[in-house]
Chain A
């Protein structure tokens, strides 16, 4: 036992921990833990346990939990501890609840009453424990039940400072869970928090205001003035209580929060106030940037400096301040501390994306390019982001050369991102068609499988849509195939291009059809079957264009029609039949040229080869989270993903509609009358695929969706309800929201939605495995002030269910089978209390809406019973599911 000041007075717990620490191997540890769990279980059966004992055992459970073992009991005892009158017992009860439960657990609802009691207690220490719990695991249900009590604590004059600051943050949590708790009349009270004498309260209050103002910035405009004043007093006057000084600096955390808040609130037209702010910022730039020997102080100072830089970029009004920013960023870029280089690269990217003229940043290009080879992958990635933003037509060629150097040495995690960026840069800044094609081919050659599918598919699309690059593309493709080594992705690309455009170069004897066939044949035997399939399709196209080559090609189809791979076998056999049919009408129809890809999507890319076009650097961002285009490499990927099935559909132009059906859009969407977002959402996930996803005074988002498990497509329609334009419209999928779900925005809106106009966006999704969280899309735009909405998409697991009714007589047998292998679950769901009952047909619709096929339905006097079955179709698994639903009209 190491500690001297702090005494752990639970002897049994200390003994238990020591025991486990002394265990030689994990086998002993597990045995000891199992024995202890059994012991605790039996103790809990004893109703005469006193509070101390309960606390001790719950604490042991918590320790076992922290070691990584699952805990499935003790909840009841923990809830009892919540009701204890002793602080230390209550504290352990709350710790258990906040660690073991999370907001999604139903059990959380059971503790709401205990929490409420503690919130209303006259003992501030109880208030605090309850507030911690609300702040850490608060849910939408808690928001409904507790937000008023929390607000009372926040507003009351008798509340102590440490309770107030916790109440502010608990309210923030509840607001995040349910924004409906916000009422406009609250704003004034909330803004007065900034005038609190206690800096801890002000710090917490800043977070609360910043969060609420994100979506209602105008409502909190009155906070601007006090925020500037506190900042000025803190930084310029050094007016700060001793306990908030951190390494000679008045609370850097509060300074940063205030600077962040000022980026969210609308700036008033008040010259005196603006001068005050400018003076503060100047003070920061001249006094905080001095390097000091203490690393803590340096970090804290620079935290403030970089936030000041962000604010200056955001205001973008004072050239002299902007100049200071350039100086500061230039200095830290070459600073010996690597953390500062990182932050500096990040801030430069923000700057590059915000200002018109990037000359000042480009002065540092050699250093930035050098950072691409830094030892730290985090730095390399930041440098890449920045270079991506700085690159334009004049620099694209040397930049891409440098990126190619990096590509050959980069580690796997960076390669995908890098290849996407090279592809996009090549596309948007290319001045010569030939350069574009050779760059892309080289990219696919070097990155091979590390480049996402979309890259090579995109090349095919661009070549198809631009006649002037088809000849050089075919020439390059042939010459790559003539190499002895041709990576599989490149082989796919080359085969596709030759199949489609090989005939354009066949008049030259050096590149005749026979030569092309030779080149392809040298690779087909050694490549994987997905690539072979594309080779076969290319051969088929050759059969159509060069009938005299049939004698060479048919035996190849013959050979693969006995291939072990079933897909390949079928394809080869079908091709054989098609090509050997003396009537070539069908063959020629199937092999018709690829139709042009959707114009709107390729609009940007039609510029390839037209050097007179000026393509401006992407410079449209308000909030910084949207400028990181490739932080996960996928979300911002400009390549569309639906319709990429060039393998299948290009061969089969008889069914082109399948490729376009997902992107076809319609505007007539039944609007829900209610604006309650949650109710709308519930409707969207349970019974309908089309409806309104979000609506406020400015914007209405409707959705149409179609699911063909394991895939799905959603079309979002944005309606600008105001007369003015919504600019910088941008949406990104939160890549973190669901790991088993791959969700991509495959078609973006144009960036601006004009008054009373609509814009559309297509999102595709693919479920790999079981997932619980719906992906979120973050929508940012500017309507005078920047706004952000985070919106859950109506993509839930049940959307990937396909109804598959089985015979009612088989139902019992199947059920028994599953029960035998322990795959049966039962639960009771109560629908409200005192509700007379739902319409049977409503329940029926919900069952169907969740993707169940109804095998049988029986209605009795008290109950209605459904037998249902369905298949959950995901990429990695398919599960057949059966459901027996008993619906009781009255409480049982």
Chain B
């Protein structure tokens, strides 16, 4: 499996989205969340890469204002392509919420998961077209 999990956390380490594709216990999940926060929040964005080692796998992350978007991938996977997959996801959220901010992710958390399900499932990249994804989620929003 390519992606082990996807996390969105803010600078204080509050998790705004967490999708685990591998089966962890709840305890392991919360351990992972805090460890990831510790790893990415202490890295220096200007002089350090967007990749960090994590328990024999790799974290690819990007920071947007106060939010960290992190994905965990296999050690030999293509880091750059996931780096752009994150950006694609963020651009889609930005269009969907019309200039997205952290509050949107808080109040509409279940919709963020719905967007996520259009882009990544089974730990794989599912769709990459921004236009198609937006059209799809907006149509689903109309359904009762």
Most buried by A among B84, B103, B127: B84
**Complex: A330 Cα to B123 Cα, angstroms:** 33
Contact with A along B120-144 (1 / 0, CB 8 A): 0111111111111000100011011
- Interface size in chain B (residues, C-beta < 8 A): 72
Give chain B residues whose Cβ lies under 8 Å from the Cβ of A21: 106
Does B97 lie at the interface of the complex (its beta carbon under 8 Å from any beta carbon of A)? yes
Q: A residues 309-359 with Cβ under 8 Å of B?
A: 338-339, 341-343, 346
Does B64 lie at the interface of the complex (its beta carbon under 8 Å from any beta carbon of A)? no
CB distance from B52 to the nearest CB of A (A): 5
B126 A6 Cβ-Cβ under 8 A: no
Give chain A residues whose Cβ lies under 8 Å from the Cβ of B78: 256, 260, 303, 306-307
A256 B81 Cβ-Cβ under 8 A: yes
Contact with A along B62-94 (1 / 0, CB 8 A): 000000000000111011110111011000000
| B-binding segment of A575-583, A622-630, A723-731, A822-830 | A622-630
**Complex: A544 Cα to B129 Cα, angstroms:** 79
- Interface size in chain A (residues, C-beta < 8 A): 89
CB distance from B98 to the nearest CB of A (A): 5
**Complex: A43 Cα to B77 Cα, angstroms:** 48
A736 B128 Cβ-Cβ under 8 A: no
Give chain B residues whose Cβ lies under 8 Å from the Cβ of A67: 14
A162-B136 contact, Cβ under 8 Å, with A342-B79, A376-B48, A625-B74? yes
CB distance from B5 to the nearest CB of A (A): 11
A132 B83 Cβ-Cβ under 8 A: no
Does A14 lie at the interface of the complex (its beta carbon under 8 Å from any beta carbon of B)? yes
Give chain A residues whose Cβ lies under 8 Å from the Cβ of B75: 624-625, 628, 631
Give chain B residues whose Cβ lies under 8 Å from the Cβ of A635: 56
Contact with B along A602-623 (1 / 0, CB 8 A): 0000000000000000000001
A303-B81 contact, Cβ under 8 Å, with A4-B98, A381-B53? yes
Give chain B residues whose Cβ lies under 8 Å from the Cβ of A132: 117, 121
CB distance from A380 to the nearest CB of B (A): 11
Does A153 lie at the interface of the complex (its beta carbon under 8 Å from any beta carbon of B)? no
Contact with B along A549-584 (1 / 0, CB 8 A): 000000000000000000000000000000000000
| B-binding segment of A197-205, A468-476, A592-600, A709-717 | A197-205
B21 A246 Cβ-Cβ under 8 A: no
CB distance from B16 to the nearest CB of A (A): 8
CB distance from A343 to the nearest CB of B (A): 6
Give chain B residues whose Cβ lies under 8 Å from the Cβ of A343: 79-80
Closest A residue to B129 by beta carbon equals A243
Decide if the interface of chain B is mainly helix, strand, loop or mixed. Answer: mixed
**Complex: A70 Cα to B141 Cα, angstroms:** 29
Q: B residues 7-29 with Cβ under 8 Å of A?
A: 14-21, 23-26, 28
CB distance from B84 to the nearest CB of A (A): 5
Closest A residue to B123 by beta carbon equals A173
Does A193 lie at the interface of the complex (its beta carbon under 8 Å from any beta carbon of B)? no
B101 A379 Cβ-Cβ under 8 A: no
**Complex: A623 Cα to B77 Cα, angstroms:** 11
A2 B104 Cβ-Cβ under 8 A: yes
Does A3 lie at the interface of the complex (its beta carbon under 8 Å from any beta carbon of B)? yes
**Complex: A91 Cα to B127 Cα, angstroms:** 20
Give chain B residues whose Cβ lies under 8 Å from the Cβ of A169: 121-122, 124, 126
Give chain B residues whose Cβ lies under 8 Å from the Cβ of A419: none
B53 A59 Cβ-Cβ under 8 A: no
Most buried by B among A4, A200, A242, A296: A200
CB distance from B92 to the nearest CB of A (A): 12
A103 B104 Cβ-Cβ under 8 A: no
B114 in complex: contacting residue of A3, A4, A91, A165, CB < 8 Å? A91
Does A253 lie at the interface of the complex (its beta carbon under 8 Å from any beta carbon of B)? yes
Closest A residue to B20 by beta carbon equals A102
A253 B87 Cβ-Cβ under 8 A: no
**Complex: A204 Cα to B129 Cα, angstroms:** 13
Give chain A residues whose Cβ lies under 8 Å from the Cβ of B47: 338, 375-376
**Complex: A786 Cα to B12 Cα, angstroms:** 45
B56 in complex: contacting residue of A104, A623, A735, A772, CB < 8 Å? A735
Does A433 lie at the interface of the complex (its beta carbon under 8 Å from any beta carbon of B)? no
Does A254 lie at the interface of the complex (its beta carbon under 8 Å from any beta carbon of B)? yes
A125-B143 contact, Cβ under 8 Å, with A59-B110, A200-B128, A378-B52? yes
Closest A residue to B143 by beta carbon equals A87
CB distance from A571 to the nearest CB of B (A): 38
Closest A residue to B85 by beta carbon equals A253
Contact with A along B96-124 (1 / 0, CB 8 A): 11100101101111110110010001111
Closest A residue to B118 by beta carbon equals A162
B81 in complex: contacting residue of A95, A244, A252, A739, CB < 8 Å? A252
Q: A residues 82-108 with Cβ under 8 Å of B?
A: 86-88, 91-92, 95, 99, 102-104
Most buried by A among B47, B56, B140: B56
Most buried by A among B51, B78, B87, B96: B78
**Complex: A293 Cα to B124 Cα, angstroms:** 29
Give chain B residues whose Cβ lies under 8 Å from the Cβ of A92: 110
A165 B18 Cβ-Cβ under 8 A: no
CB distance from B58 to the nearest CB of A (A): 9
**Complex: A16 Cα to B136 Cα, angstroms:** 29
Does A443 lie at the interface of the complex (its beta carbon under 8 Å from any beta carbon of B)? no
Give chain A residues whose Cβ lies under 8 Å from the Cβ of B121: 131-132, 135-136, 166, 169-170
Contact with B along A203-240 (1 / 0, CB 8 A): 11001000000000000000000000000000000000
Does A818 lie at the interface of the complex (its beta carbon under 8 Å from any beta carbon of B)? no
**Complex: A378 Cα to B30 Cα, angstroms:** 24
B104 A6 Cβ-Cβ under 8 A: yes
Does A8 lie at the interface of the complex (its beta carbon under 8 Å from any beta carbon of B)? yes
Closest B residue to A635 by beta carbon equals B56
Closest B residue to A165 by beta carbon equals B126
**Complex: A246 Cα to B131 Cα, angstroms:** 11
B125 A207 Cβ-Cβ under 8 A: yes
B109 A62 Cβ-Cβ under 8 A: yes
A3 B108 Cβ-Cβ under 8 A: yes
Give chain B residues whose Cβ lies under 8 Å from the Cβ of A346: 79
**Complex: A221 Cα to B78 Cα, angstroms:** 23
Give chain A residues whose Cβ lies under 8 Å from the Cβ of B48: 338, 375-376, 378-379
**Complex: A356 Cα to B16 Cα, angstroms:** 48
A339 B104 Cβ-Cβ under 8 A: no
CB distance from B67 to the nearest CB of A (A): 14
Q: A residues 405-438 with Cβ under 8 Å of B?
A: none
CB distance from B73 to the nearest CB of A (A): 12
Q: A residues 623-669 with Cβ under 8 Å of B?
A: 623-625, 628, 631-632, 635
Most buried by B among A6, A91, A342, A625: A6
Closest B residue to A208 by beta carbon equals B124
29 A–B pairs (Cβ distance < 8 Å), ordered by A: A2-B97, A4-B97, A59-B110, A66-B15, A86-B144, A91-B110, A95-B110, A102-B23, A132-B117, A136-B121, A136-B122, A166-B126, A169-B121, A172-B122, A200-B127, A207-B124, A243-B131, A243-B132, A253-B125, A299-B80, A299-B84, A299-B87, A302-B80, A306-B78, A339-B83, A376-B43, A378-B53, A632-B55, A772-B25
Of all A-B residue pairs in the complex, the 8 with the closest CB atoms, nearest first, are: A303-B80, A135-B122, A624-B76, A376-B48, A135-B121, A303-B81, A87-B143, A735-B56
List the interface of chain B (C-beta within 8 A of A): 1-2, 14-21, 23-26, 28, 30, 43-44, 47-53, 55-57, 74-76, 78-81, 83-85, 87-88, 96-98, 101, 103-104, 106-111, 113-114, 117, 121-132, 136, 140-141, 143-144
